[in-house]
A and B are shown apart, each in its own frame.
Chain A
Amino acid sequence: MKKLTAAMVAVAGVAFAAAASAATLDDVKAKGHIQCGVSQGLPGFSNADDSGNWTGLDVDMCRAVAAAVFGDSNAVKFTPLSAKQRFTALASGEVDILSRNTTWTMTRDTQLGLNFAGVNYYDGQGMMVPTSLGVTSALELDGANICTNTGTTTELNITDYFRANGMSFNLVAFEKADEVVAAYDAGRCDVYTTDRSGLAAQRGKLTAPDSHMVLSEIISKEPLGPVVRQGDDQWFNIVRWSLNAMINAEEMGVSSANVNNLKFDGSITPAVARLIGKEGNFGEELGLSNDWAYNILMQVGNYAESYEANVTPLGLARGVNALWSDGGILYAAPIR
């Protein structure tokens, strides 16, 4: 069934990629806003707050593109999408960007008529165990009961991992994240596994959060990033460089707090001058105005600001998502 759906989406995606895309930028400008596909609620990434405003790292990605295109980070509307719906919604033109913690995999990139514009979060699957279990490594988990969600890659990853290490296990799978947490909290299983960002977000739902620990093993690579339709290079570039601008700005120390001062500062480095549009015409090359990145930084901020506002409150340190210069793997191509 899953394969069938994927195949149909793929066929349709390829068929429509040619027709629907061509000039997403023109379409977007004509309707006056960007339609952004987000999750139905994932803390830190895309989540509606008490008054229904969308916040999160993935949401900021769309706001950044809106700021680059319109000079207004609010010129964006959000469509909450289920995991099954997301690729169809993008292929059919219902959304212009899919920014929904979507893992970049080869199948998705090559078969669905989509392009990943970059990685805005490096996630990986982790495991949580009660400290009372006395386990310090995932390799000691032979014969464990493992709680997870049904029908996700997490289920497949954990199977791969245990098979590769010659260990046996029992999978206890549930439909919803809440059920998984409740079952784990009630002691139905020894291990709770999902993406590490998810583990952090769900931790507050445990009766005694401090008596659980996340094991150091990361058993899968989950590079998450914004996705666009294949065949519209201009739009692809806008999304890719909006992300790159945020990462580069962090590296150069440009943030929403100082970007306005830098604009009138005569002594800035050439790299910063290029970023905020005082030198060169990088914006025009994208089909935007030259202050595109200035608008992103002014209204959304750099990557660190977005991360600290959204992901840090979950208790997730930067880790691999730190800049390459700070020991992480976040590395953006230079603007020049």
Chain B
Amino acid sequence: MTKSRKYVRLKDAPLLPPPATEAGVTGWLWQNIFASMTDFQSIGACVRSLFMIFFSLLLVYVFVDQTFSLMDFAIFSAVWSDPEGLKREACWTLQQGGALPDGWHGACWPFVWAKQKFAWFGPYPSEELWRVYLSFAIGIFGLIWVLVERMPFRAQVGVLMLTIYPLFAFILLTGGNSGASFTGIGVWIIAGIAVISVGRIGATGYLGAVFSSVSGVFGIVGWGIVALNVFRGVAAVDFNLTPVGTGDWGGLLITLVVALTGIVASLPLGIVLALGRRSKLPVISILCTIFIEFWRGVPLITVLFMASVMLPLFLPAGVNFDNLLRALIGVMLFSAAYMAEVVRGGLQAIDKGQYEGAQAMGLSFWQSMRLIILPQALTHVIPGIVNTFIGLFKDTTLVSIVGIFDLLGAGQSAVADAAWSTPVQAITMYLYIGIIFFIFCFGMSRYSIFMEKKLSKSRRH
């Protein structure tokens, strides 16, 4: 018996698009934002939803309002140029004797343009500025070369940037001809070589087993002395450049010099300190621990104050350390202590098997560190390292309280200029400085994320 069928579906019905609440932009909005505020099933859910709606709208309003205020201040209402050279009157309202309507509130950018040179380079002589530009240009060029992966000879360029470049920039910026005696420098170099030799002899075990295990330290110290004095030697050569003392440096130049010195010096110093703290030799371990805990225990501002205010009182009369150098050393040691703890965190994350494996292969301590442990440990702590770098970059602003004109100090000094005094003078300058700092710190942060992704491909979860 056959039943007559009225309708038989032979083809699948066409696929309907997913409901608007599930896909696309509306879906995303629905799932992530509206879902939590459209639940009216019970009284409790009603109350919750209403709260969510209220606070969401409030936050959106505050965000839009604040963004608009900022944009309005910095862009739409701002005074951009001062073609007639009116200085402060260009940013004055009618009430103050200017031409802008009363109640006007906007950035006074001509003030920043006028102070640009001062904010970037401080009182550095204008006719010598090419030296700053040249060292900046080479620095940026070298940095890009090292950071971009496709470039050839990256390692070699990196070594040049860490050895020759600082010397080159130092001579270019100061003018060299430091007046140090070549004889004295020669004696130091010979002393350094002697220390290295002692370390080498010690490494053979000739001077006893205990000594042989610390001979590496002698090598590091010896090479440090030699490198420092070669640097001093070249810096003492007369290159016939006009001398520009560090007292004439300022602005972004100081910020970069302090930050880069701190960053470049803190990583190797930090690694050495971290290894030292984990050393099985009590003397080294205790010394490193004391060093780290001392520097971590005092605020940077105290370090800078001690360096710039108290230190001159303890030095014999007539011996004057360069003010910037004092601050640099303070920042360097301070950041090295922080870096040491970050690196130690990485070292502790490495499984014991890795250490034992390295030993089983017959690698020496330094070989196993260089080839097995540190590459893994440092990769683990890239976020921590970059965090320290960014913190250090921002901490450089503290040098302005000891009379060194960094970017912030130069900006604050510019704000004191009565020729530009307007109600918005200070805000404009701080906004400008904030933007510069953001660009640098954000750049560092993005590059670290890129590095992390690249180096941890094998371990991504």
Contact = CB atoms under 8 A, between A and B. Distances in A.
A218 to B, nearest CB: 21
B421 A205 contact: yes
A94 B312 contact: yes
Interface stretch (B50-58, B359-367, B422-430): B422-430
Given A12-B313, A48-B413, A52-B118, A201 B123 contact: no
Contacts, number: 136
A204 B421 contact: yes
A185 B423 contact: yes
A43 B123 contact: no
B41 interface: no
Contacts of A41: 412-417
A51 B126 contact: yes
B402 A82 contact: yes
B417 A49 contact: yes
Interface stretch (B314-322, B347-355, B433-441): B314-322
A16 to B, nearest CB: 6
What is the interface residue range for chain A against chain B? 35 or more
A205 B422 contact: yes
B317 A208 contact: no
B417 A209 contact: no
Contact of B122 (A52, A178, A210, A211): A52
Given A207-B423, A210-B95, A314-B418, A77 B245 contact: yes
B416 A42 contact: yes
Nearest to A44: B418
B422 A52 contact: no
Interface string A33-51: 0000000111110011111
Contact of B418 (A16, A43, A82, A84): A43
A53 interface: yes
Contacts of B416: 40-43, 47, 177, 201
A80 B405 contact: yes
B401 interface: yes
Interface string B287-320: 0000000000000000000001110110111101
A88 interface: yes
A27 B320 CA distance: 13
B117 interface: yes
Contacts of A203: 421
Interface in A64-94: 77-82, 84-85, 88-89, 91-94
A144 to B, nearest CB: 23
A29 B314 CA distance: 25
Given A79-B247, A82-B402, A202-B421, A92 B413 contact: no
B413 A40 contact: yes
Nearest to B426: A178
B313 A91 contact: yes
B418 A85 contact: no
Given A20-B318, A92-B315, A207 B412 contact: no
B318 A93 contact: yes
B115 interface: yes
Nearest to B314: A12
Contacts of B426: 178, 182, 205
A167 interface: no
A204 B418 CA distance: 7
A313 interface: yes
A207 B419 CA distance: 16
A19 interface: yes
B188 to A, nearest CB: 25
B33 interface: no
Contacts of B421: 43, 201-205
B417 A19 contact: no
Given A43-B416, A201-B421, A52 B313 contact: no
Given A40-B412, A41-B413, A205-B421, A93 B402 contact: no
Contact of A81 (B115, B316, B403): B403
B219 interface: no
Contacts of B250: 52
A9 B118 CA distance: 32
A239 B30 CA distance: 78
Contacts of B114: 50
A48 B318 contact: no
A154 B71 CA distance: 38
A211 B97 CA distance: 12
**Most interface-central of B126, B317, B401 (chain A CB within 10 A):** B317
Nearest to B123: A52
A50 B122 CA distance: 10
A133 interface: no
29 contacts: A8-B310, A16-B313, A16-B317, A19-B316, A42-B416, A43-B418, A43-B421, A47-B413, A49-B419, A51-B118, A52-B118, A52-B126, A77-B245, A77-B247, A79-B403, A80-B403, A80-B405, A88-B310, A88-B313, A91-B313, A93-B317, A93-B318, A94-B312, A201-B421, A202-B421, A207-B95, A208-B96, A210-B95, A210-B96
Going nearest first, the 3 A-B pairs with the smallest beta carbon separation are A41-B416, A204-B421, A43-B418
Interface of B: 88, 93, 95-96, 114-115, 117-118, 121-124, 126, 245, 247-248, 250, 308-310, 312-313, 315-318, 320, 323, 401-403, 405, 409, 412-419, 421-423, 425-426
Given A93-B318, A209-B96, 13 more contacts: A20-B317, A41-B413, A48-B118, A48-B414, A50-B117, A53-B123, A77-B245, A78-B123, A79-B247, A91-B313, A92-B315, A94-B320, A205-B425
